[in-house]
Structure 1
Amino acid sequence: MSQVRVHNFAVSLDGFGTGEGQSRETPFGHAGERLHEWFVGTQFFQSGDGLPGGTQGVDNAFAAQHEPGIGAEIMGANKFGPPGWQDDADWTGWWGPNPPFHTPVFVLTHRPRPSVEMEGGTTFHFVDATPADVLAQARAAAGDADVRLGGGATVIREFLKAGLVDYMHVAVVPIVLGRGVRLWDEQESLEQNFDIQSVSSPSGVTHLSFVRR
């Protein structure tokens, strides 16, 4: 059976995966881009944008694991858009006409709408379902490939509580946000279900890998 994988999910030292005050102009609220500066600076990201250069080493090695073997993605409503995007029939996400997913993407929302086909092989499907039910849909779409769980923090928490995550990479960024949406809430004794490894990067980021036992 295909695996459920989380890649490059960044949290602050105090565990927040996004800041407070999300809007069209600030997808990560008051956190801005600080959670993802390490990722944007990698050779993997820069080459995807057609830019030369970028850092290599530990950060780049983790960043590059994001793409291989993925056949579908699941994301929460607040990753797809800011509060109230369901009222805008023209909203198709933050990423422009050619989103970076290039697979079917299942957006969890209590207000489903018709699927939207984008350039580059991305099709957004909007579903109101439990983690297990949406995972079944994503696995059917992914075929023999894995399913990436894209976030945000609330969705990852729900899948962890349901025991549906096989691999998770969390990048702990050396900033303190103080408010927002935390990843670790209600995850007491999570370490009992995973083998955990930690790798430090010269950028100051600590990469945590969780592999289900």
Structure 2
Amino acid sequence: MSLVRVTNFAISLDGYGAGEPQSLEAPFGHAGMKLHEWRFATWQPGAPNGLDALFGRQYDVGFGAEIMGANKFGPPGWQDDPDWRGWWGEDPPFHTPTYVLTHRPRAAMEMEGGTTFHFLDASPTDALVVAKEAAGDLDVRIGGGASTVNAYVAADLVDHLHLAVVPIVLGRGTSLWQGLEALEDTFHIEAVTSPSGVTHLSLTRRSPSA
């Protein structure tokens, strides 16, 4: 049975998935790229083949579709630019049907490498129905940003989350945990810390009898 999963989603120690203000010049606001340096480091020649690399390689394994929020697809106001095609160039890294949640949908965009962006004005539940149909027997990834992951967790639609907790404090931004509480009652939580200082949290939905 296909699952709904979050992979390699980075947050600060105080739970922010991005800083502020976000813009074309600063996609993650005042956080810069600090939340993602652990992942970039694993791509360097001679980088250790350790925990960070192991988790990083799971980013796109087993997925047949992705759902992302409007703020992941582009900077504030991208809906006003008919030529905006996302941050990633003509060959985005998703390689699946990818559903962008926006109140201002536009025509689908077929990109290189198997990615097609579809723009939906839909609730998390309704968008998931569409994405699951596209994914078939494969899983659906909830790709972010933090408010989108938060909405899917709050709606009790996520089966597994992998979060990379980066040892920085942002103080402000987009919170992953806003309005959520007692997740330990719903998820079995495991943590392992890599030598980089990043703590990898795995939250797996508990079975009804657990």
TM-score if structure 1 supplies the norm length? Answer: 0.95
Name the structure 2 match of 1:64.
Answer: 57
> Helix, strand or coil: the match of 1:66?
coil
Name the structure 1 match of 2:95.
Answer: 102
Pairwise CA distance, 1:54: 2.9
What do residues 15-61 of structure 1 show as CA deviations (whole Å, max 9, x unaligned)? 1100001111111111000000001111xxx2xxxx64333211111
Given candidates 126, 129, 151, the residue that maps to 2:122 is 129
Name the structure 2 match of 1:179.
Answer: 172
> Helix, strand or coil: the match of 2:57?
helix
Letter in 2 for 1:18: A
Name the structure 1 match of 2:191.
Answer: 198
Q: Which runs of 5+ in 2 are unaligned?
A: none
Name the structure 1 match of 2:40.
Answer: 40
Given candidates 74, 84, 91, the residue that maps to 2:84 is 91
What do residues 105-152 of structure 1 show as CA deviations (whole Å, max 9, x unaligned)? 000001000000001110000001111110010011111100011001
Give me the CA root mean square deviation.
Answer: 0.9
Letter in 2 for 1:41: A
Given candidates 156, 162, 165, the residue that maps to 2:155 is 162
Letter in 1 for 2:116: T
Name the structure 2 match of 1:53.
Answer: 46
Pairwise CA distance, 1:158: 0.7
Pairwise CA distance, 1:68: 1.4
Distance 2:89 2:46 in 1: 24
Given candidates 84, 107, 110, the residue that maps to 1:114 is 107
What do residues 64-101 of structure 1 show as CA deviations (whole Å, max 9, x unaligned)? 11111110000000000000000000001000010000
How many pairs were matched up? Answer: 206
Pairwise CA distance, 1:180: 0.4
Name the structure 1 match of 2:28.
Answer: 28
Letter in 1 for 2:118: H
Letter in 1 for 2:144: G
Letter in 1 for 2:164: A
> Helix, strand or coil: the match of 1:55?
coil
Give the fraction of aligned pairs with identical amino acids, expressed as a percent: 65
User: 2:60 matched to 1:78?
Assistant: no
Pairwise CA distance, 1:189: 0.8
Letter in 2 for 1:2: S
Distance 1:174 1:97 in 2: 33
Name the structure 1 match of 2:146.
Answer: 153
Distance 1:95 1:59 in 2: 23
Letter in 2 for 1:60: A
Distance 1:184 1:112 in 2: 27
Q: Which runs of 5+ in 1 are unaligned?
A: none
Letter in 2 for 1:10: A
